[in-house]
Structure 1
Amino acid sequence: MIESSFSGYARDQWQISRKLTFTYGIRYELYPYAHAQHGIDGIHYNVNTNQVELAGTNVATGDGYIAPRTGVAYRFDEKTVLRAGFGINTNAESFRNNVQTYPEVISATYTGANSFTAAGNLVTGIPPLIGPSLSAGSVPLPPNYATWIYPTPYHRGYAETYNVTLQRDLGRAWVIQAGWVGTRDVRPSAGVNLNAAPPNGGKAGQPFYQLYGNASSIQDMYPVDASKYEALQARVNHRVGGANFGFAYTFSKSMDATDNEEGSSITWEWAPIMYRNYALSGYDRTHNFQAFGNYALPFGKGQNLLNHGFVSPLVSGWQTNWIVSRESGTPFSISSSATSLNSPGNSQTANQVLPTVAILGGHGPGAPYFDPTAFAAVTTPTFGNTGRDIIRGPGVFDANASIFRSFSIRERFRAQFRAEALHLTNTPQFGNPSATAGSSSLGIISSAGGARQFRFGIKMTF
């Protein structure tokens, strides 16, 4: 399969006054449907006929997308600048999900007569695979095959990004900056299983099983609820001598219906409850604090200290770097067995049986992170009463440091020695706890990272 995309843009900047600058532009993007080598469009499953169509204009993708963007900067004085911007970016999703579907990919399983008998031998080899005839331009989808659908016409989603930032020079090499940034993803696509059954529907409740005897997933690239990200960002920087250091803090919130879009599935795929998918993103971190810096040591040639004599070459060119971070944990869901739900195509979450969930903060066996008695497995053909990403896992602390030394070997050759310490404090970075209701390990954290590592290297440039 071959995919193509075409784009072009125009941009201009207008200096309205000494204090005010206006930037504006527009972008055009075109994404034709994927096609085979000779210009034939890619396959497309027709839900009304159960036919996989192999040729022709199977999915209309429209005449392209126009994406404007603009920005403005206003200088109040020589030390204060206000900047703002807005832009639209088309989601550049690929059609890759159709590449490995029937009949482009045909699966075959060969088994022996029993567990002691081989399915074949090297002499006869693998039996020839007999595929369907493609002469009619379409083939029926076998009942044991899953597939993907791109609706026609296929309208891509787009992201609206916006920001407002105020920067101030405080003097004495201190600079502060604060801003509000956001992204709104409009019409993001995710894989929605059109063959999901209602509660207690079983296989007989799956729409495509009723029509064509197919109980496999029929994934539709369907637009789900818009995802949103909003953040307040603040930063302080200071330069003094050969040192540069700063602090950055972000207070943010991210919401979506699925974390990965473009081919990822949603939790609840039965249409009447799809609204429940909209919740905190699995990667949301409310607080993110970073302290960082680097310092060119004042020793050796051209510096204030030890700048001559036999020690000068040894102490020249050294630089230290560091970054310390503290972040909130990520949210997670409490799942439950879906056996009693009897709803193929859907996931199940637990029932919360206590009014609140106590965060105990434990780590390791016998010390749960949250109160496991707050949840119970679902044993009836109903969906659990908990949503996506309702508990936040443990936060993360990290510290990394390094020291570099740059030096010349000859006129044309320079080298840099690097020694790096990752996770310098060896502080455990605990993973999220086990989150399956009814399990004896519910609430127990069983994984951690953050082990200290040292790395050494030499970089040559010439």
Structure 2
Amino acid sequence: MQLRTTTLCLLVFCLLVLCLVALPAAAQSVAGLAGVSGAVRDASGAAVPGANVLLLNESKGIRRAMQSNEAGVFNAPSLPPASGYSLTVSREGFANWEVKNFELQVGATQSFSVTLNVAATATTVEVTGAAPLVSDTNVGVAQVVGQSQIDNLPINGRRVDSFVLLTPAVTDDGTFGLISFRGIAAGNSFLTDGNDTTNSFYNENAGRTRISTQISQDAVQEFQVLSNGFSAEFGRAMGGVINTVTRSGTNDLHGTAYWFFRNRTLNATDRYANGLNAPEWRHQAGASLGGAIKRDKLFYFVNTEIVKRNFPGQNRIINNSLTDPTGNFIPTSTCTASAAQCTAAINFIQRQMNVLVPRTVGSYMGFGKIDWRPNDKHSFSLSLNAMHWRSPHGIQTQAVLTNGNMMANNGNSTVETRYGKASWTAIITPNLVSELRYGWFKDRLSDPAASDLWPAETKGLYLTVAGSAVGAAQAYPRTYPSEQRHQIVDNLSWTHGTHSLKFGLDFQTTGDWMNQLYNGNGSFSYANITAFARDFTGNTTGAKNYQTFSQAFGNPIHSLRTSDINVYAQDVWRVSRKVTLSYGIRYEKTFLPQPTMVNDHWAQTGRVPGADLNFAPRASVAYNFNSKTVLRAGFGVFYARMHGNMLDTLFLGNGKYQTAISINNTQAGAPVFPNVLSTSAGLPAGSISLQFAAPGFHNPYSQQGNISLERQITRDMGLTASYIWSRGAGIFTQKDMNLGAFGPTVTYKIMDAAGNQVNTFSTPTYLFANRVDPRYSKILQVENGGKSWYNALALQLQKRMSHGLTFQVSYTWSHAIDTANMQGASWNISSTFNNATYNGDYAFDKGSSSLDQRHRATINWLWAPKFTKNTSAFSRFIVNGWELSTITTMASAKPWSPTVQFSGSTSSQFSGVNLAFATLNGAGGWNRVPFLPVGFLNVDQVYRVDGRIGRTLPFTERVKGNLIFEAFNMFNTQYNTAINTNMYSASAGVLRPVANVGNGTQSQGFPDGTNARRMQVAFRLNF
């Protein structure tokens, strides 16, 4: 351990020295910042060296002076994204060239082609209008969601990263607010002002999606969405990158105060709420203030926001194998135990059906930022954001749950998120710029148990009956995790001739501390109501009618620490006036912790292999047909980070530090319900499962390519058409090394609804008796067996604000395919890594991904008309000052796969055949219907319109009020987000169809927990 630490320190030191002495670096935009570049030529097209270039932003106090080099090129990297920039180019003997009031967006370098005319022709050439919409220096498929959109589009819950869904090659991953790029689940990176603010344990945004937001909308200026083919500066993502820029103060004093309110008066009822419109209300209020402490030198910005919400959740159970189709009662005909036993069991479950669970939220946020520019060569920035969230019964955020989890899998949610940044930008010479950043991040998720929701009869036991949860949550209490990160980033940018080069180092160390013993109270699983009733009461003979019992023992406290070193080099080379080449390489190395204990029977449990050759080359080329048309193409390799949840599972998978058992009712030592085991001593043989990493275990990665054609149609409108390609490799999968050779082939009879045999299905089997190591149950090897494929055509149409109108249209046709179809939103939760239908045969499950959405279109627009130039009070307060905006989303249905419910014990399907686990072939893997294609069912199409109408009240020239009314899914076009996938029930070797397969079971949405219509009113005061 000491040797590894010494090696790490030496490597960090060497790389820091290399960064300090290396000159190659680029006048490209730095993460969280922007840039300006250009080429100066005379009327004949010849380069003009020595031209004086002056870049100003008076409100920000920015003044950057430079000269064009021998190739006529100038660059100004590391600029704060903002509006109000002006650029002047002058040279003796030529007329001045000037462009005013243009905007720089995060992550983009604004490129100008400057033509200087001789002085006799004109005194000053002023370029009218905004900066060009197309640029030959930008890389990949990206889009910026700007301040106008953030301030004026309808946004539910004021969580700005929801706007990511307005961009191409993106879809929602589940119903909790997660986002997928190019069919890749949980592969994204989240940055704030360029620093990493990803919760790397789950590989999600800070605070995860149970919270409304971890930073106020009013503290965000804009953010950049990198969908495909981004530059070598960005890493730790095989999916996409979301780079948020916070607001800063200016020379002028500006402030806001706001209040958003809603209640159930105008809310629609969720289609699965059984007609109940729960008494919900929400207040969101806050204020911001920004200005100059010393003009042109020292600026500040502060924001604070509070959220108070009451949103009780409805616990329901709709299960065709247990309840009536409406989920209102359990038919007595489904229970064949004694009358007394059936009555007791049915009453126990029905007391948990259609229950309104009280739930509230209290959230407090604060953000502060200081910017100091002591002179034109140096600038410093310091910022800090903090969020506290507390929500009793708030682990489950949905409005309605139809699987029993509002009571049986709920807890009290507490989240503490803190992060800060300190940066120093130094202009060493006009062509050499350094940016040094430090980042600190802490995210603590601590969730006490909601014991008041536990059933009195079974206390802390977790129970499932026919797949529905009816007991107590087994995950709580927990702190999972408390994560803290320190990060140092150094970027150097240098312009030399027609090359803009860049070199950078990114070092971070992340610690995760956990306190959880998952399933410490024990769990029982029953196939049907009859089996549960026979165990629940009147069990005088000690019978065991459950399918499985599971429980965990051991130390709940565990921790781990990872350290990452990333280095990159990038060059943007202006080969000619028409051709620009961008190429670079990135190297990523993660120093993985190792398990503290090892299972002597399986030495693999003592080691987590790490990858040493994560080199990621990236290149793109742009061909500039003219000032309005650019063709670009690119390719690159992108590695996912090794997230902490997976590492934690491998640490605990040795069966020593924590011991998790799972046994069936026939194994020796199996308890009688409701008893659990008091100690891990003397556990039944074959009840413990192990988990470890495969030899050669490595980071998943994606290969990405794109071809794009950008065209500026008018001065304010541009169109981009792109082909996007991606292939994912090394996606985490899982293979049971304890399954031995195939047993006999068995044949299931397939029946129709009338009870007639219509077909058969034959399959080889995995037998309990053929286990490789009878001392254990599953021996799971986590490996890199999954692959994915993504092909898409994307169109983006953008119109900048002019004549009171701005809009963006995005359309993507895509097809996402993978061999790890069970991933979706849960692939980063290590206990649910994909098990194939047939052990290790991942190709058998190749098909349309659960994230496949063939068509997705979004339209957002803002109209702020000025009907009259009259300045009378009537015109100012009644006629003018209106704003209308909407976001329209249209998307095709995603595929789901039908499943088989296994009834009875593992030995009850065929005489003399004792399957290893309760699936058709005994593998214990994916329980999909194996004779139907993957993704055979469709969930639902999406069509929704979110709208906003605002009215500006100009109290004075500087003080204005805004009345706002917002409606989300205003036409209440509700859509299913989950369906009944249970197509067959397997019993005694017969597959019988289950009614209502494909019917909807949930209509959830983020952040309200439903996609039913919600409306709110607001008032803002701006000065």
Give yes or no for the alignment of 1:202 onto 2:767: yes
Please state how far the C-alpha of 1:99 moved relative to its aligned partner: 4.0
**Post-superposition CA distance 1:412-450 (Å, at most 9, x none):** 988765432100111121345322222122233343353
Q: Among 920, 926, 931, which residue is 1:347 paired with? A: 926
Match of 1:385 in 2: 931
Give yes or no for the alignment of 1:336 onto 2:900: yes
Kept in 2: contact 1:160–1:185 (CA 8 A): yes
Give yes or no for the alignment of 1:11 onto 2:570: yes
Kept in 1: contact 2:803–2:865 (CA 8 A): no
* 1:228-307 → structure 2 map (5 Å cutoff): 228-239=789-800, 240-258=802-820, 259-260=823-824, 261-262=827-828, 263=830, 264-271=832-839, 273-298=841-866, 304-307=868-871
The 3-state SS of whatever aligns with 1:275 is helix
Uncovered stretches (5+) of structure 1, i.e. residues with no partner: 36-40, 120-125, 133-139, 351-383
Distance, in Å, in 2 between the alignment partners of 1:206 and 1:22 is: 57
TM-score of the aligned structures, taking structure 1 as reference length: 0.74
Give yes or no for the alignment of 1:222 onto 2:791: no
Please state how far the C-alpha of 1:229 moved relative to its aligned partner: 1.0
Kept in 2: contact 1:196–1:343 (CA 8 A): no
**Post-superposition CA distance 1:312-361 (Å, at most 9, x none):** 256665432112121110111111134542504223333xxxxxxxxxxx
Please state how far the C-alpha of 1:286 moved relative to its aligned partner: 0.8
Please state how far the C-alpha of 1:196 moved relative to its aligned partner: 4.3
**Post-superposition CA distance 1:382-417 (Å, at most 9, x none):** xx3123212333311111111345678899988765
Kept in 2: contact 1:266–1:277 (CA 8 A): no
**Letter matched to residue 587 of structure 2:** Y
Please state how far the C-alpha of 1:103 moved relative to its aligned partner: 2.6
* 1:60-139 → structure 2 map (5 Å cutoff): 60-94=609-643, 95-101=647-653, 102-106=655-659
**Letter matched to residue 792 of structure 2:** A
Give yes or no for the alignment of 1:308 onto 2:872: yes
Distance, in Å, in 2 between the alignment partners of 1:328 and 1:427 is: 14
Please state how far the C-alpha of 1:276 moved relative to its aligned partner: 1.1
Kept in 1: contact 2:786–2:819 (CA 8 A): yes
Q: How many residues align?
A: 394
Question: RMSD between aligned alpha carbons?
Answer: 3.6
Kept in 2: contact 1:44–1:150 (CA 8 A): no
**Letter matched to residue 976 of structure 2:** F
Q: 1:249 to 1:52 in 2, by over 3 A?
A: closer
Please state how far the C-alpha of 1:108 moved relative to its aligned partner: 9.4
* 1:27-42 → structure 2 map (5 Å cutoff): 27-35=586-594, 41-42=595-596
**Letter matched to residue 235 of structure 1:** Q
The 3-state SS of whatever aligns with 1:97 is helix
Q: 1:6 to 1:62 in 2, by over 3 A?
A: same
Q: 1:196 to 1:175 in 2, by over 3 A?
A: same
Point out the more displaced range, 195-204 or 408-417.
Answer: 408-417
Distance, in Å, in 1 between the alignment partners of 2:610 and 2:621 is: 34
Match of 2:528 in 1: none
Distance, in Å, in 1 between the alignment partners of 2:774 and 2:980 is: 39
Could you tell me the percent identity over the aligned residues?
22
- By percentage of residues, which structure has more strand? 2
**Post-superposition CA distance 1:65-103 (Å, at most 9, x none):** 111111222110122111222221112122232244333
Kept in 2: contact 1:29–1:66 (CA 8 A): yes
Match of 1:50 in 2: 602
**Letter matched to residue 105 of structure 1:** Q
- By percentage of residues, which structure has more helix? 2
The 3-state SS of whatever aligns with 2:901 is coil
TM-score of the aligned structures, taking structure 2 as reference length: 0.35
Distance, in Å, in 2 between the alignment partners of 1:440 and 1:187 is: 38
Point out the more displaced range, 1-10 or 442-451.
Answer: 442-451
**Letter matched to residue 927 of structure 2:** Q
Distance, in Å, in 1 between the alignment partners of 2:840 and 2:733 is: 17
* Higher relative contact order (Cα pairs below 8 Å, separated by 6+ residues): 2
Kept in 2: contact 1:196–1:345 (CA 8 A): no
Distance, in Å, in 2 between the alignment partners of 1:330 and 1:277 is: 17
* 1:155-166 → structure 2 map (5 Å cutoff): 155-166=698-709
Distance, in Å, in 2 between the alignment partners of 1:430 and 1:107 is: 36
The 3-state SS of whatever aligns with 2:797 is strand
Match of 1:359 in 2: none
Distance, in Å, in 2 between the alignment partners of 1:256 and 1:180 is: 19
Q: 1:289 to 1:148 in 2, by over 3 A?
A: same
Kept in 2: contact 1:195–1:345 (CA 8 A): no
Kept in 1: contact 2:588–2:615 (CA 8 A): yes
Please state how far the C-alpha of 1:13 moved relative to its aligned partner: 1.2
The 3-state SS of whatever aligns with 1:337 is strand
